[in-house]
Structure 1
């Protein structure tokens, strides 16, 4: 057991997978000698060799296409796309090839690839290094979408993703790579030392895909969040003094509808929080699911707290983000309705 941040936990997961399974390999831009732009693969090439962790040319479509071919052959590639903003050239490969391979081949072939990519803002990266495109992938049948919120889950979910026989998009919230929110400010604290999920077991363990976690139990209102927004929701709950139940979805597809329904039936209220833009964001799907399953239990309208419907506003990114104040206001509206 060791205290780790999310980057260290992800590195540990890939190290464990490379040691356990000779079919696992890692490739992408700068992941080898340099160890990745965020250092997630630091030391893996030196330890496991040039054929297990290696650099590629700058060409996302080709990187993913190569991974699909390897996966069809029987390997389990872990592909890093340096920023989620760079994934669009590979979108057709992910959607038209990887996600459909099992169905198109009647089960003769699978595509057990895991596409890791940092997403979201908070590092002053501007419009082309800060996007949250998760909704574009949750719409795709045959593709799983996973977003951890803490080091413990990051390691266990990544191991489960690589061992899954279907393609997985593994989105990593880079704003909390090095630390969670302190509960009172918009910006993160650069340490996980006091966070309970910072204690990461050595060696192999898994966190199941499709199973949410209750980050905070409560009775007054249910908050649905994932990634960075889990910490924002917890901060808002504390600041507002509201007994909210905060659910960390962890996996967007498949989503843990049973845990969501049980919580909303108990509280009768629901607030959904995500960083991406509001229109057609993943919160719209969550809102529809809650309405379909919990209509007769709802005592207030479902609230959504999201990013703005604008291109990513670099100069105003800390206003763009749903912060504790905006989420706390939504909690109060839900409870007082």
Structure 2
């Protein structure tokens, strides 16, 4: 076992490495310092964002590189796009992906199109990191999983790492890329721990990983639900059911080869996705299999998603909305039987 870090500590470490090695990397977002500009009152670095991910950054890098912003997502994301075009490498924290709606023109018509529309004369090396996911009793405005909205837009790279190792390497790769990249962090992952090397490293763009090998069924999952799929797969080994768990890591570009190669071996597939059921990553993977892997199938493609409804605040309703280990196990057994 190597050095252990939590997911959120791995994010913090990646930001520090990127900022130490490149003075053009800046960070901005709501409450990422918490008190910046009020140092004379003894208030600085009070919060580090809603989950403390950016804690300590302003003390190391100062308030010329770590900025608290007003509650104006369209304004500060637009400012970051302009800064990227002017030669900086902004890392923007959009506190929750649910807030993208008030700034969506920046995501849809500005960041992903400017390099294309200027004929490659400018680059837009902006990275957006944002929280998503249910499970923290945060209700409908702070609990959505919406990565499919961004994957749909040409010009964005997108990733949703499921482990501390992958989020560190993925964030470093994102910051150093010359194109817009959005990193989705599921809040249920923040306190999990895993092996994370101390050194600087980057994930390869568009490359997924086989998290567990198997021969009976392929399970494709994303972000936090990869961990639930792995727990179910380990449990099913005791029942002589061998499930292969695929984590694409990158949503755009998607590693099609790793999915099709696994399906070729198992002949059966379950796709698990916390995003809304219509036009999500699960349906995209299902379409990939239907067009490029149909001959490998020994059973219909199965998709497991939440219901087509908002996330509820009431615990019993949110628990029913979430994709549990029990639901995953039931779906796998139904496919195999």
**Normalised-by-shorter TM-score class:** over 0.9
Kindly indicate whether the alpha-carbon contact (under 8 Å) linking 1:17 and 1:24 is maintained by their aligned counterparts in 2: yes
Structure 1 unmatched runs, 5+ = 180-191, 193-197
Cα distance in 1 for partners of 2:101, 2:243 equals 37
Kindly indicate whether the alpha-carbon contact (under 8 Å) linking 1:239 and 1:328 is maintained by their aligned counterparts in 2: no
Kindly indicate whether the alpha-carbon contact (under 8 Å) linking 1:36 and 1:42 is maintained by their aligned counterparts in 2: yes
Question: Which of 103, 124, 141 in structure 2 is aligned with 1:90?
Answer: 103
Cα distance in 2 for partners of 1:2, 1:55 equals 31
Name the structure 1 match of 2:11. Answer: 10
* Residue-by-residue CA offset, 1:272-324 (whole Å, 9 max, x unaligned): 00112212222111100011111111000000011110111222111111111
CA RMSD, Structure 1 to Structure 2 (Å): 1.1
Cα distance in 1 for partners of 2:335, 2:64 equals 54
Cα distance in 2 for partners of 1:20, 1:247 equals 33
Cα distance in 2 for partners of 1:293, 1:313 equals 37
SS of residue in 1 equivalent to 2:141: coil
Name the structure 1 match of 2:264. Answer: 265
Q: Give the count of matched residue pairs.
A: 319
Name the structure 2 match of 1:236. Answer: 232
Structure 2 unmatched runs, 5+ = 34-44
SS of residue in 1 equivalent to 2:274: strand
* Residue-by-residue CA offset, 1:79-108 (whole Å, 9 max, x unaligned): 001111112111110110001111101111
Question: Which of 112, 117, 121 in structure 1 is aligned with 2:134?
Answer: 121
Cα distance in 2 for partners of 1:79, 1:58 equals 13
Name the structure 1 match of 2:28. Answer: 27
Cα distance in 2 for partners of 1:209, 1:5 equals 23
Cα distance in 2 for partners of 1:165, 1:29 equals 24
Which runs of structure 2 are paired with 1:162-181 in the superposition (5 Å)? 162-179=175-192
Measure how far apart 1:230 and its partner are: 0.2
SS of residue in 1 equivalent to 2:293: helix
Name the structure 2 match of 1:47. Answer: 60
1:216 partnered with 2:230: no
Name the structure 2 match of 1:188. Answer: none
Name the structure 2 match of 1:104. Answer: 117
Cα distance in 2 for partners of 1:290, 1:207 equals 25
Q: TM-score, normalised by structure 1?
A: 0.93
SS of residue in 1 equivalent to 2:95: coil
Cα distance in 2 for partners of 1:264, 1:91 equals 36
* Residue-by-residue CA offset, 1:244-281 (whole Å, 9 max, x unaligned): 10001100000000111100111111100011221222
Measure how far apart 1:328 and its partner are: 1.1
Name the structure 2 match of 1:288. Answer: 287
Kindly indicate whether the alpha-carbon contact (under 8 Å) linking 1:239 and 1:324 is maintained by their aligned counterparts in 2: no
Cα distance in 2 for partners of 1:69, 1:310 equals 36
Cα distance in 2 for partners of 1:249, 1:267 equals 17
